Amino acid sequence: MRKGGYISRSSIPRTVKTALVEYLRDEIIQGDLVPGQHIRLDETADRFDVSTMPVREALRDLEAEGLVSIFPHRGAVVTQLSADDLRDIYEIRGMLEELGTRLAVPHMTEATLAELTSLIEEMDRHLDEVVTLVRLNHRFHSVLYSPSGRRHLCGFIITLRYRTQHYLRAYIAQLGRMPQAQAQHRAILEACKSGDAELAGSLMYDHVVEVGGAIAEHVRQLERTEETAYEGASEV
C-alpha cells in the first residue's frame, strides 16, 4: 500500500486495520497529518479504498496510543499537546526511563549491547528520514530497558513514548537536533558497557529531559506566534 493509495490485499501484513494503523501513524509522525487536524472517516476510507469500519477501528487503536483524540460529534483529531503537556510528559518519562536504565544495566548481555550498538549505527544512516528514525529510536530505548524485567515499568514508558512520538518530527527535522541525541545515545551505551548503572541512568534522564525541553520550547514559540496572529486579527 502506498500513502494515499489503494490497499491491495497482497500488501497487507495482517489485516486492513493493521495496515491502516501503520500508514496513518506514519502520516502523523512525518507531519502529513498535523496536530489538531481532523481525520475524516469517509475521506480516509475513500483515500485508501476501504470501508469505514476498519478506519474507525484503526483510529481507536491510534487513540489508545495517544496519537489521535476522538470527540463526540467532532470525530477524530490528531492529538495536540501544549508546551506544558510536553514538558510534563517528558519529565515523567525522564524519571521512569532513568529507573528502567538503572535496573537494566546489571542484566545486559553482550547480545543486548551489540543490538544497541547496531541500532545507533542504523540511526546514523537515516538521519534525514523521520519515520525510520522514530521507529529505530523507539526500538533502541525498548531494547535498553527490556533487561530490567520490569514489565509494568516498561509498559508505562512505552505508553508515554507513544503519546509524544508525533512531536519528535520537530526535534529531528525542524530543530535538527538528532546528531546531538545520537551523541547522548553513545554516552549512555558506553556507560551500559562499563556496567555503570548510576551513570547510565543519570545520562538517560538528562537525555530525555533535554529532548522534551527542546520540543516544548519549540511548541511554546508556535503558541506565541498563534496568539500574536490571533490578537492582530482581532484588532482589525
Q: Write down the domain spans for the chain.
A: 9-78, 83-224
Which region, left, alpha or beta, applies to residue 8 given φ > 0 means left and ψ of -120 to 50 means alpha? beta
- Give tens-digit pLDDT for 77-120: 999 999 999 999 999 999 999 999 999 999 999 999 999 999 99
CATH superfamily of this structure's domain 83-224: GntR ligand-binding domain-like (1.20.120.530)
Stretch 37-64: mean pLDDT: 95
Which fold would CATH assign to domain 9-78? Answer: Arc Repressor Mutant, subunit A (1.10.10)
- Give tens-digit pLDDT for 195-209: 999 999 999 999 999
The CA–CA distances, whole Å, from 50 to 1, 12, 59, 61 equal 12, 12, 14, 17
Is the model more confident about 162 or about 2? Answer: 162
So what's the pLDDT on residue 73?
Answer: 85
Q: What is the CB neighbour count within 10 angstroms for residue 109?
A: 9
Are the folds of 9-78 and 83-224 the same?
no
- Give tens-digit pLDDT for 214-235: 999 999 998 888 767 555 555 5
d(CA 187, CA 206): 11
pTM, rounded to two decimals: 0.85
The CA–CA distances, whole Å, from 60 to 32, 57, 67, 175 equal 19, 5, 10, 31
CB 112 within 8 A of CB 186: no
d(CA 23, CA 209): 29
